[in-house]
């Protein structure tokens, strides 16, 4: 028996939980070495990020962005493509959204302006993913190399565009002007006052909708079957009639569009302007989410909430425990990527023996 022959509950639930537990145990050891009690630290983190309604609101706000970047990476993985350019694609998507807002926020009503902004984010995100996809499909350039380089190009390009063209005259802040009120996504605290004055907005429901659409198309459609066949064996998929080059390009376009949509929550739902470095590493977090969530919509959602909780809980924990710097949670994210990515099958041999023993 190999990992491919293991039951779905073992590969989809047990292995990720064991990997997550391993990462948290190493993190607990690090917190202990910093001179703090890991159990008390975990209590503070859970209370801040989950139990407290306002903290939970922030957790879900961060998770709303992470769902889109996680979906972007996951969709590409389904086709055997390791798109690590979601950071740059979300950055460029933010530019597309902002250009749409600056052009139309004074003339269009909110019910037209918001879809136009989302369309701009998706189109620019897809555009930034197109060239790496084309180079992979037509020239054999490795998608990892091209997408990571496009992250740096996007950062440099955005810095130039914001500083040169988007900063309003007389302003010192490296950001565009503030959009009109019509461009703001409705906050959820208008309907749920217990959430407090937090930026959680309707993009949370949009992220849930994106997860459902992703799940249906990947597992229940003919295109999704071709997508997964391409990821499992490109040669077999080719002989079955799948146009591999077209599949790679289309997959990267959709992946980039999803990453671009991650900018909607941050810009239209919170800041209401484009700022330098607004992505804040969300694209790289999407890699961890795709690995930990095993490219499954439920796994992606739970992983997004986990990383949102780490960010929200980490802020309060660093305030209450000065010995624990905020960088500790970047370290924890790295541990999760390590155990759920490079070491994802660490416990597979033991689990296979246990399953065989039960069958015997």
* CA–CA distance, 321 with 310 (Å, rounded to integer): 15
DSSP symbol at 172: -
Q: What percent of the chain has pLDDT over 90?
A: 65
pLDDT score, position 360: 56
Say what the pLDDT of residue 339 is. Answer: 81
Q: What is the DSSP letter of 200?
A: -
Is 67 within 8 Å of 300 (Cβ atoms)? yes
Residues 343, 79 contacting (CB under 8 angstroms): no
Tell me: pLDDT of 10 over 70.
yes
Round the average pLDDT of the chain to a whole number and report it.
Answer: 90
Triad 180, 182, 187: Cα angle to 5°: 110
Between 24 and 90, the more confident residue is 90
In DSSP terms, 175 is beta-bridged to: 275
Mean pLDDT of 42-49: 89
DSSP3 helix / strand / coil % (the chain, rounded to 5): 75, 0, 20
What confidence tier does 230 reach under pLDDT thresholds 50, 70, 90? very high
- The answer, yes or no, to whether residue 329 has pLDDT greater than 80, is no
On whether the pTM is more than 0.75, the answer is yes
Question: 1 pLDDT exceeds 60?
Answer: no
pLDDT in the model for residue 98 = 97
Q: With bands split at pLDDT 50, 70 and 90, how would you rate the model's confidence at 314?
A: confident
The structure tokens listed for 155 are 């950062």
pLDDT at 2: 55
Rounded to whole angstroms, the Cα distance separating 343 from 282 reads: 22
Tens of pLDDT, residue by residue over 332-346, are 878 887 887 767 777
pLDDT for 100 beyond 60: yes
Query: What is the pLDDT, as a whole number, of residue 334?
Result: 81
**Percentage of the chain with pLDDT > 70?**
97
Paired tokens of 247: 């599949």
Higher pLDDT, 103 or 194: 103
- Summarize pLDDT for 131-175 with one digit per residue, the tens: 999 999 999 899 999 999 999 999 999 999 999 999 998 888 899
- Would you state the torsion angle of the CA atoms of residues 127, 292, 238, 85, taken in this order, to the nearest 10 degrees? 20
What is the Cα gyration radius of the chain?
A: 21
> Stretch 250-255: mean pLDDT, rounded?
98
pLDDT by residue (tens digit) across 163-210?
999 999 888 889 999 999 999 999 998 888 888 889 999 999 999 999
């Amino acid at each position: 028996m190999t990992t491919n022959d293991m039951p779905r509950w073992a590969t989809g639930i047990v292995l990720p939980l064991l990997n997550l537990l391993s990462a948290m145990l190493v993190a607990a050891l690090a917190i202990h070495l910093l001179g703090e009690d890991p159990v008390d630290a975990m209590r503070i983190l859970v209370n801040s990020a989950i139990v407290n309604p306002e903290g939970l609101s922030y957790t879900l706000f961060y998770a709303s962005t992470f769902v889109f970047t996680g979906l972007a990476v996951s969709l590409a993985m389904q086709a055997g493509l390791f798109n690590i350019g979601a950071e740059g694609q979300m950055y460029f998507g933010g530019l597309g959204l902002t250009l749409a807002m600056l052009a139309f926020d004074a003339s269009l009503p909110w019910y037209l302006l918001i879809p136009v902004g989302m369309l701009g984010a998706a189109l620019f995100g897809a555009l930034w993913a197109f060239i790496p996809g084309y180079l992979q499909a037509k020239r054999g350039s490795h998608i990892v190399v091209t997408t990571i380089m496009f992250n740096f190009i996007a950062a440099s390009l955005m810095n130039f565009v914001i500083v040169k063209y988007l900063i309003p005259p007389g302003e010192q802040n490296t950001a565009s002007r503030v959009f009109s009120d019509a461009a703001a996504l409705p906050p959820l605290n208008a309907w749920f006052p217990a959430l407090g004055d937090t930026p959680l907005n309707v993009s949370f429901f949009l992220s849930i909708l994106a997860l459902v659409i992703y799940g249906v198309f990947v597992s229940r459609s003919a295109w999704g079957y071709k997508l997964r066949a391409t990821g499992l064996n490109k040669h077999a998929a080719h002989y079955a009639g799948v146009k591999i080059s077209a599949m790679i390009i289309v997959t990267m376009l959709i992946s980039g569009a999803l990453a671009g949509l991650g900018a909607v929550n941050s810009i239209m739902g919170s800041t209401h302007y484009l700022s330098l470095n607004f992505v804040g590493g969300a694209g790289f977090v999407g890699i961890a989410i795709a690995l930990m969530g095993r490219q499954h919509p439920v796994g992606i959602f739970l992983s997004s909430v986990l990383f949102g909780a780490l960010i929200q809980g980490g802020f309060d924990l660093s305030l209450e425990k000065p010995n624990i710097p905020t960088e500790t949670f970047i370290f924890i994210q790295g541990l999760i990527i390590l155990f759920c990515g490079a070491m994802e099958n660490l416990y597979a041999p033991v689990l296979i023996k246990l399953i065989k023993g039960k069958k015997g």
